[in-house]
Amino acid sequence: MVKSMFSGIAGLRAHQQKMDVIGNNIANVNTYGYKAGRVTFKESIYQTTSSSSNGNDIFGGSNPSQVGYGSQVGTVDLMFSNGAYAPTDSAMDCMIDGQGFFIVGPKNPEGIKLEDATPEEVSQKLSGTYLTRVGNFVFDGDGYLCDGSGNVVYGYGMKDDGTPNTETLVPLRVPYVDKDGIIDTSTPPADTSTPMKLNSVSISKTGEIVGNDSDGESRTIGMIALANVPNPNALEKTQGPYYSIRENTGFVLPYEPGKGTTGSIVNYGLEMSNVDLAKEFSEMITTQRGFQANTRIISVTDEMLQELVNIKR
């Protein structure tokens, strides 16, 4: 009889965890780039009261008898379906129309070498960065392209022929020029150099960051890289809109937008949360009823135990 008490308690815990996930989904219904969570239940352990047996010349076989101990949370998955497009007034705001993640992290002037590196080595190097779906980018005072939390955005620099240098993944930065307007290619730039002043900066659907210099000439600063993650559900959520690369993600590799199954970039907007409020409220109702039913198991079991104790007056 006490087994049903334990089953009810297990059910309460499982439904409470599911309600926690639902509450977090609803709380983030207007959070840019948020991906809704989903809880699945699984059966808990079983006590086998009798095992199965084969038949013989006289009697038939018998099946096992097992008593379960309730339910428990099996998985908490993230749903990586695309959120809707939310238009903004900033040309530097962008969303990924399709798969992929922006690569952000601390400043690394030397960048991440991609040439002659194996997929495993590249993925290992990228584990020191963060992945995000939120593209609220701005330039800081040092000319670095940063997100809203100050992490620099990684991508490809441009070669002299105007094509991206895909051999190295670097923090995207406005070119520095000396007092005569000549680009300073030294690393780090000389103390007398300053970031080039650019106007009308925008991001194309292929990730190219383009602006006009003081002479009105168009300049391409670099190209934003997108990370392709074979198993995004293996990513680990951290604070804010960031994901950390952990085990079981597969080889996480950077690509030009639109290549390697990654999507294109849409500017003047951000990705909305993919939370479906109608679905969340429906899940909330069924979860509440499941929680309520498990409390009845506990109260009825308690009444049965009370009747048992009252046999002896």
Give residue-wise pLDDT tens across range 235-263.
999 888 999 998 889 999 999 999 988 99
pLDDT for the residue numbered 196: 78
Question: In angstroms, rounded to a whole number, what is the distance separating the alpha carbons of residues 281 and 23?
Answer: 10
Question: Is residue 59, in this structure, part of any structural domain at all?
Answer: no
Please, are residues 186 and 177 in contact by the beta-carbon 8 Å criterion?
A: no
Q: How confident is the model at residue 271 (pLDDT cuts 50, 70, 90)?
A: very high
Domain interval for residue 94: 85-271
Please, are residues 284 and 19 in contact by the beta-carbon 8 Å criterion?
A: yes
Distance of CA 100 to the CA centre of its chain: 10
Adjacent-strand bridge partners of 46? 68
pLDDT for the residue numbered 286: 96
Do residue 186 and residue 294 come from a single domain?
no
Mean pLDDT for 11-30 is: 95
Do residue 100 and residue 43 come from a single domain?
no
Provide the number of structural domains found in the chain: 2
pLDDT for the residue numbered 309: 86
Do residue 218 and residue 294 come from a single domain?
no
Please give the single-letter amino acid code of residue 79.
Answer: M
Do residue 224 and residue 247 come from a single domain?
yes
- pLDDT at position 313 over 70: no
Please, are residues 252 and 126 in contact by the beta-carbon 8 Å criterion?
A: yes
Question: In angstroms, rounded to a whole number, what is the distance separating the alpha carbons of residues 50 and 240?
Answer: 51
Question: Is residue 58, in this structure, part of any structural domain at all?
Answer: no
Phi-psi region of 216 (alpha: psi -120 to 50; beta: other; left: phi over 0): left
Question: In angstroms, rounded to a whole number, what is the distance separating the alpha carbons of residues 87 and 95?
Answer: 10
Do residue 300 and residue 264 come from a single domain?
no
What mean pLDDT value characterizes the chain?
A: 88
Adjacent-strand bridge partners of 77? 38
Q: What is the pLDDT of residues 154-199, one digit of tens each?
A: 999 888 788 888 899 999 988 877 776 677 666 667 766 777 788 8
More confident of the two residues 135 and 55: 135
Do residue 217 and residue 242 come from a single domain?
yes
Question: Is residue 39, in this structure, part of any structural domain at all?
Answer: yes
Do residue 231 and residue 305 come from a single domain?
no
Mean pLDDT for 73-80 is: 92
pLDDT for the residue numbered 174: 85
Do residue 109 and residue 195 come from a single domain?
yes
pLDDT for the residue numbered 188: 67
- pLDDT at position 302 over 90: no
Say whether 14 sits in a helix, a strand or coil.
Answer: helix
- pLDDT at position 38 over 80: yes
pLDDT for the residue numbered 19: 96
Do residue 266 and residue 295 come from a single domain?
no
Q: What is the pLDDT of residues 113-164, one digit of tens each?
A: 988 889 999 999 898 899 999 999 999 888 889 998 889 999 998 887 888 8
pLDDT for the residue numbered 1: 58
Tokens of 53: 């047996």
Do residue 150 and residue 11 come from a single domain?
no
